Amino acid sequence: MTKSYLVETFGCQMNVHESEKISGSLSNLGYIPVQRREDADIIVFNTCCIRDTAEKKIYGNIGDLKNYKKLKKDLIVAIVGCMSQQAGAIETLKSQFPFIDIILGTTNAHLVGEKVNEIINSRDKRKLKYYENVEPNNDIAENDVTLRTSYPNGWVNIMYGCNNHCTYCIVPYVRGPEKSRAPQLIMDETQNLLKDGYKEITFLGQNVNSYSSEGWNFAKLLDTVAKLPYRFRLRFLTSHPRDLSDEILDVIAKNEKICKSIHLPVQAGSDDVLAKMNRHYTRNYYLSLVEKIREKLPTCVLTTDVMVGFPGETDENFEETINLIQRVKFSNAFTFVYSPRTGTVASRMVQISPQVKKDRITRLISVQNEIVKDISQTSLNKTYEVLVEGVNQKGLLYGRAENGRLITFPGDTNLVGEFIDVKIDKCRVSSLGGHIENRDA
Ligand code: SF4
């Protein structure tokens, strides 16, 4: 009988796309995707260890799988991705959850299908286990089969890993040094997606701005792809402020298809904290960069990541962060409380108290929410072109404007994948509501 599988994703957008590759490796071998754990013969968790909260949530979810394993004795459980890539993680997972059958890291996650096959075809399914976490290296697996789940959005990895070594971040340890894919492979993948009717392409990488391969830099890659003769939008994630060059901004400015929307993590507004974080820029540098972006790209929307409670962050340092947030007025900010990651430099610094962190995150969120509310108000009665992505639980269509704002509105489901003009009539903190305008005009 054909076996079924479920891949659950924890963490960032990069992981969502990596899960599409893991699903592809399983579907390619004849396994059938399902939506619920109780229906699955194979459960794969694609994990993330960037934050302590994410990791705790994953451990809780792995614990829950014990009951499924009791009910279905041949259930195969696989844990893959960056959590299992950490030093000592395999030993911890094996001892706490002996029912796990497969553990793979980020570099070899694409082998899930093959390992599942070996277990299913083995004589003694219950004894065969794979615990293989390979050191991140410069190899890029290019033979992945991807089962895309996000039409009309196509995610394309352009690079992997990071060389920056921000002192709080575990990414360089678990995903290894930067490695860029060959431009022709990126062009081919993008062109195939566009031929298949995908309408929005997002280039993914930990630090896309430092893309470099065969003499191509990120500006050249963007410029070349934006000229492909299809109706589509082009986005990218994530940028490092130090590497967002004038050349990249000029390419964004002159190409209509490149969205005027940049996610530019600031992390902190104080020079002391930025230096301790090893971010390689100052508060003034960041503010001048914002000014330059707004000059070259007047309609560009900026979003960011901000962290509070970094070791040694004083009240004054925190106020500088609040002040920067108020000055820039980001359209959205992902706000985090610093949590130490084992093996990183910052985890060995003197930590500040949980209560102080809690007070600071509460204040930061409230300041940012006020900013978003004010920005949202300016959208009322305006019309945006929305790429329709799907239907939400309330039966409303949802999609994004070029500036990245989520917009919901009533409409026919056959509009999924279309560009539609929507006039805004409701403002909420996380999304806008509207109605279709002038379809026949
Ligand atoms: S730039 Fe810094 S925060 Fe981003 S992935 Fe690299 S080390 Fe981590």
Convert the pLDDT of each residue in 162-210 to its tens digit. 999 999 999 888 888 999 999 999 999 999 999 999 999 999 999 999 9
Lowest mean pLDDT among 44-48, 70-74, 129-133: 129-133
Going from the C-alpha of 390 to that of each of 152, 153, 387, 396, 426, the distances in angstroms are 9, 11, 9, 8, 19
129-159 residue pLDDT tens: 777 666 666 666 776 778 898 999 999 999 9
Please determine, for residue 402, whether its predicted confidence score (pLDDT) is greater than 80: yes
Domains 150-259 and 286-377 share a fold: yes
Query: What gap in Å lies between CA 343 and CA 173, rounded to an integer?
Result: 8
* Residue 284 banded pLDDT, cuts 50, 70, 90: very high
List all residues whose CB is within 6 A of at least one atom of ligand 1: 162, 164-166, 169, 171-172, 206-207, 240
Q: What is the CA radius of gyration of the chain?
A: 23
Give, using CA atoms, the residue closest to atom 1 of ligand 1. 164
Write phi, then psi, for 80 (nearest 5 degrees).
Answer: -130, 170
Give residue 347's Cα distance to chain centre: 24
Q: How far apart are the first and last CA of the chain?
A: 53
Q: Where are the domains of the chain?
A: 4-132, 150-259, 286-377, 383-436
Question: What spacing in Å lies between the alpha carbon of 24 and ligand 1's midpoint?
Answer: 28
Start-end of H helices in 177-270: 183-195, 218-226, 246-254
**What pLDDT does residue 43 have?**
96
**What pLDDT does residue 50 have?**
83
| Mean pLDDT across 43-66 | 90
**Reported pTM:** 0.90
27: left (phi over 0), alpha (psi -120 to 50) or beta: alpha
Please determine, for residue 123, whether its predicted confidence score (pLDDT) is greater than 80: no
Please determine, for residue 127, whether its predicted confidence score (pLDDT) is greater than 80: no
Could you say which architecture CATH assigns to the domain 4-132?
3-Layer(aba) Sandwich (3.40)
* Residue 441 banded pLDDT, cuts 50, 70, 90: very low
**What pLDDT does residue 136 have?**
66
Question: What spacing in Å lies between the alpha carbon of 140 and ligand 1's midpoint?
Answer: 19
Please determine, for residue 217, whether its predicted confidence score (pLDDT) is greater than 80: yes
Give, using CA atoms, the residue closest to atom 2 of ligand 1. 166
**What pLDDT does residue 124 have?**
65
Question: What spacing in Å lies between the alpha carbon of 198 and ligand 1's midpoint?
Answer: 29
**Topology annotation, domain 150-259:** Transcription Regulator spoIIAA (3.30.750)
Please determine, for residue 279, whether its predicted confidence score (pLDDT) is greater than 50: yes
75-92 residue pLDDT tens: 999 999 888 888 888 889
Question: 286-377 has which CATH code?
Answer: 3.30.750.200
Amino acid at 189: E
Give, using CA atoms, the residue closest to atom 8 of ligand 1. 169
Minimum-distance ligand 1 atom for the alpha carbon of 267: 3
> Can you identify the CATH homologous superfamily of domain 383-436?
Nucleic acid-binding proteins (2.40.50.140)
- Ligand 1 pocket mutation pick from 48, 169, 211 by most atoms within 8 angstroms of CB: 169
